[in-house]
Amino acid sequence: MAFALCQSVVGGDMKTWVTVAEVVECQSTPNTERGCRKFLDKLFLQYPQARRKRQGTKAFEYDVNYLPENIQAELVVIEGKRTVNSLPVLAEPAKPVEPSAEAQMLWAAYEQGTTKAQNEAKWKLGTMFAVAELTNTGMNIMTALELVCGKYNRECEAKGEKPVSVGSLKRWWYAIKDEDRSLWLPLLMSERGKNGKSREAEFSEEAWAFFKADYFRNERPQLGSCYERLKRAAQVNGWVIPSLSSIKRKIEREIPKTHQVYLREGEYAVSRYFPSLIRTIADVDAMEWVNGDGYKHNVWVEWHNGHIIRPKTWLWQDVRTRKILAYRCDESENTNMIRLALLDVVSKYGIPKHLTIDNTKAAANKKMTGGVKNRYRFKVSPDEVQGIIPALGIQLHWTTVRYGRGRGQAKPIERAFSHGGLGELVDKHPLLAGYHAGDNALDKPDNYQGNKAGVDYESFILALEEGIQMFNERLNRETEICRGELSFEQAFERDFALVEKRLATPEQLRYLLTLHEEVTLKANGTFELKCGGERQGLRNRYEAYDLIGTKHKRVVVRYDPNRLHDKVWVYSQEGVYLAEASCTRPAAFGDTQSAQDHSRKEREFVRHTKKAAQAAQEMEVQEVAECMPEVEFDDTPSVPQVWEVVHQEGNAMRKQEVLLEDEKVSTFRRGLDNYLAMAKKAKGL
């Protein structure tokens, strides 16, 4: 430990023999080694026994005890400095001593101190070593303090530093002189801490609790406002409060930074202090893993319909090489643009194995991700139709949502939206000058026009295409794959040529061209689609004559969202193709031509159904009658059955015989008689 290391040096004696090179450092000797050598040779002529040759060299060394007192004091100070400066690199003691509890606490406090406080304590320790060595030679304590003080003050004056007083040296000396030398360093720093502690302003505990409760909350009030409320509360409650600057220092000293962030900014903010996970893509092939996200441009564009908007672009990017593979732009983020952008990727490069997206409404809808169990958006039913992404055999991965916010760092595409990305390459393109919306609400250009004017659509698309090309072709990319040499485009071309492609079949491409909706099929072969929206409470109605009277109750309809009034394709829930259906339009109330056409189709339907039904019958009804067994009649006369009915009238019993055919009447009569008998008995008759 640190205090044990210190003890191994500071507990020893100072050296008693010095060389010319060591003496020349003193202020009381000549400044050059030649002059200092002459000075020492002359001084030691009368003390030949105090001058000897150093072993292994031609140089002489001199006994310190025969030097003048002032030179001895300077050497003590210099040697003390060297001892202190060598503290961090001292050797371990041969026999470590078990530290006491007090020593452990002192050195723990020292190690937790600031670098400035530790350096100041080391400087004090050097002066105390010098004083200790002088007093060991028998010098008076005050004389030793004055010598050391004078030596250090001359050095401080030369460096332009604040001088030290004899009183300070005296206070430090009496604070440590009776302690073990291994504890001098932490004691000198704790002495400074004790003095600082005594200067800490008084602060009532109730007032401190009041201030913390007011300041550390999610509304993040200003420090000055909280201090004003504290002053008003202190006047009422008689609290003692310090200055605002003292409270600032108390917060920094007593409340950890992470606690401050959590109390004022919440869980998400404090989670950002935790080191992020570093991932490698060395084991991922090109086009094996694709990620996508939408970017809202900071530029105003006049769209096809005349609306002036800030368009949204969806981009798919290769995870390994960071190349942007495809994109689609629209007024807002929607399923159609995501589907078509994925179609561009699949038709050009093949089908990826993995795909990462955010759990948004547009990206995580049932048409794209139906059947994925961990979607956490929209109701997941066990029999829902499989979406486009799982139907293509792509394993879907969601970005993590923690503490109410997404993890943008989980997708490499997020880097394309930050500094130097599409915001610079596209939104600030020269073709779009004058229509930039600014990076945020507080950063608007001087020529900002808002949504009053927008650049034409063609210029925006040209700028978007050129910006994405610049993003892909920029050289010396600092990524794991490019290694500061290649561009994203070069890295993709190199790696994609080495992998096995998963090309899409024509059926899979058609699957991407259409969306699906699960509907209820009526018995007459008609159904309605919600995808076309509603107008005056009506939806698009479709007819499929081949599905009239079928057993299917729920079917899946695949459609082209750009051609909803044309044909659509009907599949079973298991994915089996059933029929085509066409969109029908309501006829006018007085449209006789439509009525005639409908009547003709109805007659044809009935006639065709009649022929088909009759053709399917393999036996006539007369043949059915002939195949039935002959009926045999029983000529035995029936014997009437007689039943004996007993009626109770008071205490007397009356028997009556009835025939079987009168059973229904006798049963009713018997019940009526029983009721009358019970009524008489109840009345005592």
| Percent of the residues in the chain that have a pLDDT greater than 70, as a whole number | 79
Query: What is the full DSSP assignment across 269-280?
Result: HHHTTSPPPP--
| Confidence grade of residue 175 (pLDDT, cut at 50, 70, 90) | confident
Q: For the whole prediction, is pTM greater than 0.85?
A: no
Does pLDDT of 542 surpass 60? yes
Q: Across the beta sheet with 312-318, what order do the strands follow?
A: 324-330, 312-318, 289-296, 354-357, 395-398
Residue 432: DSSP 8-state:
G
Centroid of chain to Cα 677: 88
Average the pLDDT over each of 29-38, 79-88, 297-306, 615-624 and give the range with the smallest value.
79-88
pLDDT given for residue 216 in this prediction: 96
Quote the pLDDT of residue 248.
94
CATH class of 514-587: mainly beta
Output the pLDDT for position 217.
95
> In this predicted model, which residue has the larger pLDDT, 163 or 26?
163
Domain boundaries, the chain: 2-198, 205-271, 289-496, 514-587, 642-683
Tokens of 170: 């005296």
Given pLDDT bands bounded at 50, 70 and 90, which one contains residue 634?
low
Alpha carbons 238 and 216: distance in angstroms, whole number: 23
Sequence-separated (6 or more) residues with CB below 8 Å from residue 552: 521, 572, 578
Res. 665 pLDDT band, cuts 50 70 90: low
Residue 309 in this model has a pLDDT that exceeds 90: yes
Query: Average pLDDT of the chain?
Result: 80
Per-residue pLDDT reduced to its tens digit, 79-111: 655 554 444 433 344 445 566 777 888 888 888
What's the CA gap between 319 and 479, in Å, rounded?
11
Q: Does domain 289-496 bear CATH number 3.30.420.10?
A: yes
Percent of the chain clearing pLDDT 90 (strictly above): 30
Helix (H) or strand (E) run with residue 568 in it: strand 568-571
Residue 679 has pLDDT above 50, yes or no: yes
**Lowest mean pLDDT: which of 112-121, 152-161, 178-187, 292-301?**
152-161
- The yes-or-no verdict on residue 203 having pLDDT over 50 is yes
Residue 304 pLDDT: 87
Partner residues linked to 291 by β-bridges:
317, 356
What does the block give as tokens for 6? 């210190």
* Tokens found for residue 368: 């794209």
Q: Does residue 1 surpass a pLDDT of 70?
A: no
Better-predicted residue by pLDDT, 181 or 195: 181
**Better-predicted residue by pLDDT, 81 or 233:** 233
Q: What letter represents residue 520's amino acid?
A: T
Label residue 633 by pLDDT band (50, 70, 90). Answer: low
Closest CA to 54 of 12, 20, 14, 13: 20
Q: Tell me what pLDDT residue 293 has.
A: 93
CATH number at 2-198 = 1.10.10.10
Nearest Cα residue to 316 out of 339, 336, 296, 342: 342
The predicted structure's pLDDT at residue 558: 83
CATH fold match for the domains 2-198 and 205-271: yes
Higher-pLDDT residue of 424 and 548 is 424
Instruction: Identify the CATH number of the domain defined by range 205-271.
Output: 1.10.10.60
Residue 312, SS3 per DSSP? strand
pLDDT at residue 439, rounded to an integer: 84
The most confident of 24-38, 252-266, 507-521, by mean pLDDT? 252-266
Q: Is 470 exposed, middle or buried (0-12, 13-18, 19+ CB in 10 A)?
A: middle
pLDDT tens digits, 47-77: 777 788 777 677 788 887 777 777 777 776 6
Joined together, the tokens standing for residue 662 give: 């009168």
**How confident is the model at residue 458, as a pLDDT?**
94
Phi, psi of 309 (to 5 degrees): -135, 170
Nearest CA-CA partner of 493 in 473, 477, 510, 522: 473
The beta strand positions in 195-323, using DSSP E, are 289-296, 301-302, 308-309, 312-318
Higher pLDDT, 658 or 601: 601
